[in-house]
């Protein structure tokens, strides 16, 4: 059983590990040697992207410190792509560590959620799966904006 605290062992069977290995599909936005970014299938708002490092880290606490700068540069690049492609009024960035911190998939990831003025965010842990055609369209538009298609 997955340990959901801050000190558990990395579990190779987590969903994002399977996506990173290509065993499960995703709507890819960007990939390089350090990260894979793809659409969240349970978006808190339309255009919600997850940026997942390829390093096997469970939370922000066990990610290699020397790689944080490069990782954040990717997060920023994707945020700029979201801004250009989707023209939101704002962007919310989240990272949840440990089940008590709100984490449900135990491979480190940052969330980027485009926000419109006065629009409400769906709750974290929303279980309304987005339409694949819509996710594909967002992924293509953001990838194009960051020059990654």
Q: Which of residues 17-36 bind ligand DGP (CB under 6 A)?
A: 26
- Asked if residue 38 binds ligand DGP (CB under 6 A), the reply is yes
- Asked if residue 104 binds ligand DGP (CB under 6 A), the reply is yes
Residue 52, Cβ density class (10 Å: 0-12 exposed, 13-18 middle, ≥19 buried): buried
CA distance 59 to 110: 10
Q: In angstroms, what is the minimal distance from the CB of 51 to ligand DGP?
A: 11
Give the containing element (helix H, strand E) for 17: helix 15-20
Query: 66 or 114: whose CB is closer to ligand DGP?
Result: 114
Using an 8 Å Cβ cutoff, are 67 and 35 in contact? no
Using an 8 Å Cβ cutoff, are 24 and 18 in contact? yes
Mark whether 109 is an active-site residue.
yes
Q: Which of 20, 40, 47, 49 binds ligand DGP (CB under 6 A)?
A: 40
Catalytic residue set:
109
The residues binding ligand DGP (CB under 6 A) are 15, 26, 38-42, 50, 96, 102-105
């Amino acid at each position: 059983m997955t340990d959901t605290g801050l000190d558990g062992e990395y579990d190779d069977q987590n969903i994002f590990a399977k996506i990173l290995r290509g065993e499960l599909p995703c709507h890819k936005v960007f990939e390089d040697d350090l990260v894979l970014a793809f659409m969240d299938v349970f978006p808190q708002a339309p255009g919600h992207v997850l940026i997942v490092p390829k390093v096997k880290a469970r939370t922000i606490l066990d990610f290699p410190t020397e790689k944080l700068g490069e990782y954040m540069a990717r997060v920023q690049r994707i945020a700029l792509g979201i801004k250009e492609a989707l023209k939101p009024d704002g962007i919310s960035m989240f990272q949840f560590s440990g089940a008590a911190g709100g984490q449900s998939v135990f491979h480190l990831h940052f969330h980027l959620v485009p926000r419109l003025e006065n629009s409400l965010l769906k709750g974290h842990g929303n279980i309304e799966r987005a339409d694949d055609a819509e996710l594909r369209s967002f992924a293509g538009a953001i990838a194009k904006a960051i020059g990654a298609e």
